[in-house]
Chain A
């Protein structure tokens, strides 16, 4: 259905909204840069060290990885997911319906994920440069020797898709929160209480604690070494999150508050 006022198709409007949202959220990149700076700091200071010391001998070995930067980029994606979901209530640009709003949000998240993936891909090199400049005995781990183009591609692809998963998940939660407001808060509280009660009860009655194991959830993706199966898993997850967020946004009133 074309907009009567603007005589433009929903896709054109969606694309204009993408541009508008990217411009409106330019500051998002400042957050990313700040987070990355924090990441560089922490990846140097929290490197795992172990040492041995004798009378006149001291050996300290520290190993660090760009993993902190990945974690912080994930945090950034979550932030952006929430921000985009929150801004549902103030969409003023052009004629907005739920489809254009949803489509442009998703597209912006994808762009963010791509940017995050690219920046974190290069951050490893920047860490090398920093390490050489600021540290006396700085070496690259031998595994860098076995890094090929394929590994860098893996780094980029997995990074981008994982960021997208986190961003979309945060977007879904944000949409649910914006849509159901108090009911969402109550529901979340109830869920937390139920989970905690369940774990307490299972520990005291069954003598076998049942916890929601987040680690196993991560392992489901991280320990998958077959590429295509991993791709299917990840794409299905993203599709499911997209679907759920579309379903929750579908009948939402745009200008609610």
Chain B
């Protein structure tokens, strides 16, 4: 009974809005002279006909690559097997995207066993040690931090491109990161469904994406991997919360 009432009320509202809209449109339309309306049509038609050319120049080429099917929480697998992985391995991993490599020069002499390099575990109270893998190696002579992010696709657009890398620095003998505020607003235009009217499978894909949306899996920020290479002779020290991954 109530649902029927709702139906009637909705129909009445729709009808009223429709009638009001038509009345407003007509009152506007009547005031426009024939000459002006012909000009307006001409203008609009020209703009529309030019738009494919403009779009061809302005709009970036559509990515035609197939999205990579990244396993959910893939970064956790990396952390679990961190002993077996190495940097080259990660760089070639198709599930990860390398963001930046930052080299932070250190003055070796200013650090000793008594005053080692501290590695901070958090930024503004936010714990980030979960994302660190520290490799002690002789291949570098300064601190080299390679940042990765798990690739992350929405509608086959690679979102991981949009990520802002953390900014690492050494201050007061402390290696610390500033985790940037990331705010990504992504807008995508998809074609109308009826363009694929006679192409069942594609139309279904579109339908699915438009009705269900797409779940994010891991919050993408969690997918960060910070691979820190520290020269062998540098003394460092860590005290803080969170897991501690050192690859000797």
Binding site for B on A (CB under 8 A): 23, 26-31, 33-36, 47-48, 50, 52, 54-67, 70, 75, 79, 119, 122-129, 131-133, 135-147, 151-152, 154-155, 158-159, 162, 196, 199-200, 203, 222, 225-227, 230
- Shortest B121–chain A CB gap in Å is 15
A222 to B209, CA, bound (A): 18
Q: Which residues of B contact A136 (CB under 8 A)?
A: 185
A119 to B157, CA, bound (A): 29
Does B239 sit at the interface, judged by CB under 8 A? Answer: no
A145 to B156, CA, bound (A): 11
Whether B197 lies near A131 (C-beta < 8 A) is no
Contact partners of B157 in chain A: CB under 8 A = 139, 141-142
The answer to whether B183 and A58 have CB atoms under 8 Å apart is: yes
Q: How many chain B residues have a CB neighbour from A under 8 Å?
A: 75
8 Å CB contact of B189 from A50, A64, A196: A64
Cross-interface CB contact of A62 among B28, B187, B193, cutoff 8 Å: B187
Q: Give residues 219-234 of B contacting A (CB, 8 Å).
A: 219-222
Known: A123-B48, A129-B55. A142 touches B189 (CB 8 A): no
Closest B-chain residue to A221, C-beta based? B197
Judged by a CB distance under 8 angstroms, whether B100 is at the interface is: no
Q: Assuming the A-B contacts A56-B179, A136-B185, are A63 and B48 also in contact, with contact meaning beta carbons closer than 8 angstroms in the complex?
A: no
Taking CB atoms, residues of chain B closer than 8 Å to A79 are 22, 25
- Report B-chain residues with C-beta under 8 Å of the C-beta of A159: 194
Q: In the complex, given contacts A27-B34, A59-B186, A137-B184, what are 6 additional A-B residue pairs having Cβ atoms less than 8 angstroms apart?
A: A63-B189, A64-B188, A70-B194, A138-B188, A158-B197, A196-B4
**Contact among B38, B184, B210 for A48, CB-based, below 8 A:** B210
Chain A: minimal CB distance from B125 (Å):
9
| Subset of 27 A-B contacts with CB under 8 Å | A27-B32, A27-B34, A30-B28, A30-B37, A34-B29, A35-B25, A48-B210, A52-B216, A54-B219, A58-B183, A59-B183, A59-B184, A66-B192, A124-B189, A125-B48, A125-B54, A125-B55, A126-B48, A128-B55, A129-B58, A132-B55, A138-B189, A142-B155, A147-B195, A154-B195, A196-B4, A225-B200
Q: Which one of B37, B154, B187, B194 contacts A154 once the chains associate, using CB atoms below 8 Å?
A: B194
- Most chain B CB within 10 A, of A27, A60, A162, A222, is at A27
B59 part of interface (Cβ distance < 8 Å):
yes
> Given contacts A30-B37, A125-B55, is CB(A63)–CB(B183) below 8 Å?
no
Q: Does B196 contact A (CB under 8 A)?
A: yes
Residues of A within 8 A of B185 (CB): 60, 62, 136-137
Chain B binding surface, main DSSP class: helix
Q: Across the interface, which residues of A come within 8 angstroms of B45, CB to CB?
A: 119
Contacting residues, chain B, for A62 (C-beta < 8 A):
185-188
A26 to chain B, nearest CB (A): 5
Chain A residues lying within 8 Å of B38, measured Cβ to Cβ, are 26
Instruction: Determine the distance from Cα of A70 to Cα of B7 in the docked complex, in whole angstroms.
Output: 25
Residue-wise, chain B 171-191 has the 8 Å CB interface mask toward A (1 for contact) of 000000001111111111111
Chain B residues in the interface with A (C-beta under 8 A): 1, 4, 7-8, 18, 22, 25-26, 28-30, 32, 34, 37-38, 40-41, 44-45, 47-49, 51-52, 54-55, 58-60, 62-64, 67, 126, 154-157, 159, 162, 179-200, 202-203, 205-206, 209-210, 213-214, 216, 219-222
CB <8 Å contact, A30 and B182: no
Query: How long is the Cα–Cα vector from A141 to B126 in the complex, in angstroms?
Result: 35
Q: Which residues of A contact B194 (CB under 8 A)?
A: 70, 154-155, 158-159, 162, 222
Of B22, B29, B51, B205, the contact of A143 (CB 8 Å cutoff)? B205
How far, in angstroms, from A230 to B198 measured CA to CA in the complex? 9
Most central of B29, B191, B209 by chain A CB within 10 Å: B191
List chain B residues, Cβ under 8 A from A143: 190-191, 196, 202, 205-206
- List chain A residues, Cβ under 8 A from B47: 126
Say yes or no: A33-B44 contact (C-beta < 8 A), given A26-B38, A65-B189, A146-B202.
yes
Determine if B155 and A226 form an interchain contact, defined as CB atoms under 8 angstroms apart. no
